[in-house]
């Protein structure tokens, strides 16, 4: 009887709305299909540059077209994520040619090798401090990140070691940020799609440069994110906002959503849906290109 009562209690908090009324949907919803191979190739000219319509869509276009609109509303076909994500993460510029991108990859691979060599050439004192401040946490995190994903599954998986090197090297590249728990959750999907270690590193650099990444619930950036979210709730869900206010300071801290912001909803949705959210953020459709990814 107790178990049945518990199940009924849980059901009271399970709200499902598989479909939204049109009044609550964006007017362009369903106008664009997922960006697939043929649509993507249609945005590339003979030099491999992404056409202007893809970069700055400025008028309504037939279903299936529209570049950033297609990514925002329909996502990216899994088969081309590894090619498109580097553009969204600003590793490649839209105006670059295929030849220029290959030259960039060669240059960036050399830079990545130099960063890694700098890490491996630390003095014993430097290495000891690095191990305490960075490597100890990275080593713990990577072995439990996305291990259900076939790409990272199994003992001695070289992809896990690649993820580890990327995170250690990033801490050397950007010592002001270093490493914080949660970064492995952000880099793992990129590595699984982009595949190349150096390319993934530079995509991750782009992600970190354009994301308000929060390393601690007390961080100034977390408070900034929560400020945005509180104001959004005040404007769109006034009754819920008033309920939080009635709870006092604890309610407005909104502890229930800290992980949403830390990991960009990655653990709140199945992976496929979470990555769709990421792509929509990275498209920056109807927001300033200077805006930060994963902001509420």
Per residue in 81-105, pLDDT (tens digit) is 999 999 999 999 989 999 999 999 9
Residue-range domain boundaries for the chain: 98-209, 220-283
For domain 98-209, the CATH class is mainly alpha
| pLDDT above 70 coverage of the chain, percent | 82
Task: Look up the pTM and report it.
Answer: 0.81
Mean pLDDT of 38-43: 88
b (16+ CB within 10 A) / e for 181-190: ebbbbbbbbb
Question: Tens of pLDDT along 107-149?
Answer: 999 999 999 999 999 999 999 999 999 999 999 999 999 999 9
**205 vs 86: CA distance, rounded Å:** 11
Count the residues in the chain.
Answer: 296
Contact indicator for 166, 187 with CB cutoff of 8 Å: yes
Contact indicator for 134, 126 with CB cutoff of 8 Å: no
* Three-state SS sequence of 246-264: HCCHHHHHCHHHHHHHHCC
CA gyration radius, the chain: 21
- Reported as a pLDDT band with limits 50, 70 and 90, residue 59 is very low
């Amino acid at each position: 009887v107790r178990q049945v009562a518990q199940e009924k209690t849980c059901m009271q908090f399970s709200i499902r709305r598989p479909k939204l009324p049109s009044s609550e949907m964006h007017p362009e919803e369903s106008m664009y299909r997922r960006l697939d191979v043929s649509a993507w190739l249609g945005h590339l000219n003979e030099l491999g540059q992404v056409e202007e319509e893809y970069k700055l869509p400025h008028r309504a276009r037939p279903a299936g077209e529209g570049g950033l609109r297609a990514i925002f509303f329909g996502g990216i076909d899994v088969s081309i994520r590894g090619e498109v994500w580097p553009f969204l993460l600003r590793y490649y510029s839209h105006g670059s040619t295929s030849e220029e991108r290959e030259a960039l990859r060669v240059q960036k691979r050399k830079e990545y090798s130099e960063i890694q060599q700098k890490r491996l050439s630390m003095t014993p004192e430097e290495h000891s401090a690095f191990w305490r401040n960075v490597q100890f946490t990275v080593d713990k995190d990577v072995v439990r990140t996305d291990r259900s994903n076939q790409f990272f599954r199994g003992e001695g998986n070289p992809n896990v070691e690649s993820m580890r090197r990327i995170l250690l090297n990033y801490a050397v590249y950007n010592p002001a940020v270093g490493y914080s728990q949660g970064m492995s959750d952000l880099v793992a999907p990129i590595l699984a799609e982009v595949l190349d270690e150096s390319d993934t590193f530079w995509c991750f650099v782009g992600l970190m440069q354009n994301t308000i990444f929060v390393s601690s619930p007390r961080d100034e950036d977390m408070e900034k994110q929560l400020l945005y979210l509180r104001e959004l709730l005040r404007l769109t869900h006034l009754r819920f906002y008033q309920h939080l206010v009635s709870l006092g300071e604890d309610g407005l801290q909104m502890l229930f959503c800290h992980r949403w912001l830390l990991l960009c909803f990655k653990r709140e949705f199945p992976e496929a849906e979470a990555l769709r959210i990421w792509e929509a953020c990275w498209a920056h459709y109807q927001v300033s290109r200077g805006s930060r990814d994963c902001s509420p």
